[in-house]
A and B are shown apart, each in its own frame.
Chain A
Amino acid sequence: MVKVARRLDRSYDIHARTDTPKSLSVPNKDAARQIVEDMADAHHLIPFVEQLLEIHRTGFVGKRYRIPRVNDIIDELRNDGYLYDAESGRFYEDVHQRKTRNWGVLQEGEHYTLGFLALDIRDNSELVRRYGRDTMNGVYESVRRIIDRAVDKRNGRLWYWEGDGGLVAFYDGVVATCAVESGMEILHELILYNALWNPLNDPVELRLAVNTGQIRYHDDPAKVRTEEAVAQTQELESRYTEPNALTVSPSAFPLLDALLQRCFARSGSDSDTAVRAYRPRFASLEPVS
């Protein structure tokens, strides 16, 4: 357990933590209790348990270990609102119990590779001027519901939203795929919204952009924005994305399922640096009978 703890905190010293002279060994039970307490205090409990379960399944430096009462540990964390996904070997928040912006596991200041979906409502100021703040607030609520439904089912988290746009982050699964699938579904739902429920005389149009990259996690949205991968996502959305379209960065595109890749058109001649765009629509011309 000490070695596992040191994977998460390289300076971890069980003797210092238990006031035990280096010449003596710490009793196993005392060591275990101290490590669990320390990991919990340092917000490392979830990754610590993930490592233990991984060792239980696959061993540690070539040796097999059986962690006793594994199911009890999983059950205990389930009661605290975390579900274990054996396939990925990770715990995730049970969104029926809790939903936090860091999935309950991201640590302030630590590096993570995430997927990002930036969203922006086109001509927001003009729409507010034309229809008034009250009407537009109702429209924004509807758009937010569309976004929430699409990203919730793929375990995305809305990191910030500022009236007419925002940023969703993905941590779970293949992050680029989750972000793209969410974006595609949002565009599809927007087609239905504009056709059936939009109270305005103008269509509501979104610009969406997906990117992946490593960032240092912050609870503060203002700090999140300064991270390069986030800034790139926002730039992709604002500079390279047309209304009613979803663009994908050159770094995220190769990570997508082949079927999803086929839905995207390339803009630019260099396939390595080209931005890809998805523009769903109904065929404008009538089929030939």
Chain B
Amino acid sequence: MTVYLVSKKGRKTLFAAVKKIPGVDDVVSLETLAPGRIQEARETAAEDSFFFLDSTAFSDGDLLSVLENLAIVHPGRVGVFDPEGVVDDPAQVFFRGGVDYIAPALLSSPIPAERFIQLRDYLYPAPTGEVDGIGENGYHQVPFEVVTPEPPSREILSGRDWSTVRSGSEYTFWFLYAQLDDTDRFAVRTSSEYGTQVDQRFREQLLAEAGRFGGRIWMWKQYGGLLLFPYDGTRCMPIVPAVRLFMNRVLYTVERSTGKNVLSFRLAIHLGNTMYRDVGETGDVVSEDVNFVYHLGAKHTRPGELTMTRTAFSFVPSGLQGIFIDRGTFEGHEIRGMRRFLPGALSE
């Protein structure tokens, strides 16, 4: 995780303690970024980056404008530090998409580590419930268990639609893992009804897009689950709905009133085999490919990202291949990730 200090002055000393905070991957680096480079960083910074904007580096209106535009691409990852107390109304920082405001009193000496721990806990609440791979500090540890890459060992076409798919038989399917991001914050910051509402609307949106391409929600636990698409041996059915979901996420947020920040979610696509069971009767399904796509989505895919295995990528139409880049290897599979879709541009 990289913390960017967007400032004209060297402020690293004030923030030095941030490097001592165990983050999601236990490595936090601190970099100073000139305000003029913010456009570039907005596009290139990793999804789990955090930006602290120096209020003295911008004029009044520009600070909030820059904050808004950063927050739309990096939702929940922008804060403001105000060494000279020039922000008249700090609440505006939160109203415009920010998640932290560091007041002048805290900046008279290096910020204590506890202050960053509070921010970390806010951004990455400790997972609850039965989640594998939880380390001693309560945060996800990516287990990177190396497995041999296995494309579907037996290609069993499930067809162009669902007409020939029978419960109890094994088929090759397209898997689309879908998961809302920052869900722990729903419970901490809002009513439980809000979380349920966002979950419901997310599922509706998935169905609206995926349904046109034969996709069905197969397994779902609150805030995430797995969609299946029939596999006819030729086409990557989930690719168009997945790209559409990312392109239109601002529109979904506004039209479905899911909050003041742009809805953030992650998707992962894989091609593999499983025994098919009707929805609601999947308790006895045992499938390496199903396990894998869950791992890919939960552990390797960043918030707001679309990833897929190389096998899946090979089915992506050539016109869309350019929007994917190498995302390393995960559990023995080469992974591709979609470039970030930028809804609009920075204000001047």
A interface list, Cβ under 8 A from B: 177, 181, 184-185, 188, 191-192, 194-196, 257-260, 262-267, 271, 277-289
B204, chain A: closest CB distance, angstroms: 14
Chain B residues contacting A277 (CB-CB under 8 Å) are 345
The 19 listed contacts between A and B (C-beta, < 8 Å) are: A184-B251, A188-B244, A188-B248, A192-B243, A192-B244, A195-B323, A259-B254, A262-B68, A280-B344, A283-B341, A285-B40, A285-B43, A286-B325, A286-B339, A287-B45, A287-B325, A287-B340, A288-B45, A288-B46
Q: Which of A195, A267, A280 meets B343, CB within 8 Å?
A: A280
User: How many B residues have CB within 8 A of the partner chain?
Assistant: 44
Chain B residues contacting A271 (CB-CB under 8 Å) are 61
The complex places the Cα of A267 from the Cα of B343 at a distance, in Å, of 17
The A/B interface has a contact count, at CB < 8 Å, of: 105
User: Which residue of B has the minimal Cβ distance to A259?
Assistant: B254
B340, chain A: closest CB distance, angstroms: 4
Given A181-B251, A184-B251, A288-B46; A283-B339 close (CB under 8 Å): yes
User: Which residue of A has the minimal Cβ distance to B2?
Assistant: A288
Given A259-B253, A260-B250, A263-B72; A280-B342 close (CB under 8 Å): yes
Q: B250 near A285 (CB under 8 angstroms)?
A: no
Given A184-B251, A286-B325; A267-B339 close (CB under 8 Å): no
Q: Is B44 an interface residue (CB 8 A)?
A: yes
B344, chain A: closest CB distance, angstroms: 4
Q: A196 near B240 (CB under 8 angstroms)?
A: yes
**A interface footprint on B313-325 (CB within 8 Å = 1, 0 otherwise):** 0000101100101
Q: A195 near B317 (CB under 8 angstroms)?
A: yes
The complex places the Cα of A282 from the Cα of B253 at a distance, in Å, of 19
Chain A residues contacting B248 (CB-CB under 8 Å) are 184-185, 188
Q: Is B255 an interface residue (CB 8 A)?
A: yes
Given A259-B254, A265-B347, A283-B43; A188-B68 close (CB under 8 Å): no
User: Which residue of B has the minimal Cβ distance to A276?
Assistant: B347
By secondary structure, the B interface counts as mixed
The complex places the Cα of A190 from the Cα of B257 at a distance, in Å, of 25
Q: A262 near B72 (CB under 8 angstroms)?
A: yes
**A interface footprint on B15-53 (CB within 8 Å = 1, 0 otherwise):** 000000000000000000000000010011111000000
The complex places the Cα of A27 from the Cα of B254 at a distance, in Å, of 52
Chain B residues contacting A266 (CB-CB under 8 Å) are 347-348
B294, chain A: closest CB distance, angstroms: 22
Q: Is B97 an interface residue (CB 8 A)?
A: yes
Q: Which of A259, A279, A288 meets B345, CB within 8 Å?
A: A279
Give 16 A-B pairs besides A265-B346, A278-B344 with Cβ atoms closer than 8 angstroms: A181-B251, A188-B244, A188-B247, A191-B247, A192-B243, A195-B323, A262-B97, A263-B250, A263-B343, A279-B344, A280-B341, A283-B342, A286-B44, A287-B45, A287-B325, A287-B340
B interface list, Cβ under 8 A from A: 2, 40, 43-47, 61, 68-69, 71-72, 96-97, 240, 243-244, 247-248, 250-251, 253-255, 260, 262, 317, 319-320, 323, 325, 328, 337-348
Chain A residues contacting B348 (CB-CB under 8 Å) are 265-267
B342, chain A: closest CB distance, angstroms: 6
Chain B residues contacting A192 (CB-CB under 8 Å) are 240, 243-244, 247
Chain B residues contacting A257 (CB-CB under 8 Å) are 254
A174, chain B: closest CB distance, angstroms: 10
Q: Which of A191, A259, A285, A289 meets B328, CB within 8 Å?
A: A289
User: Which residue of B has the minimal Cβ distance to A193?
Assistant: B319
Q: B340 near A185 (CB under 8 angstroms)?
A: no
Chain B residues contacting A191 (CB-CB under 8 Å) are 247
Chain A residues contacting B347 (CB-CB under 8 Å) are 264-266
Q: B43 near A177 (CB under 8 angstroms)?
A: no
Chain A residues contacting B341 (CB-CB under 8 Å) are 280-283
Q: B244 near A287 (CB under 8 angstroms)?
A: no
A278, chain B: closest CB distance, angstroms: 5
The complex places the Cα of A285 from the Cα of B71 at a distance, in Å, of 19
User: Which residue of B has the minimal Cβ distance to A198?
Assistant: B319
User: Which residue of B has the minimal Cβ distance to A153?
Assistant: B255
A119, chain B: closest CB distance, angstroms: 18
User: Which residue of A has the minimal Cβ distance to B320?
Assistant: A195
The complex places the Cα of A259 from the Cα of B260 at a distance, in Å, of 7
Q: B40 near A185 (CB under 8 angstroms)?
A: no
Given A188-B248, A263-B250, A265-B348; A258-B260 close (CB under 8 Å): yes
Q: A195 near B254 (CB under 8 angstroms)?
A: no
Q: B251 near A194 (CB under 8 angstroms)?
A: no
B289, chain A: closest CB distance, angstroms: 26
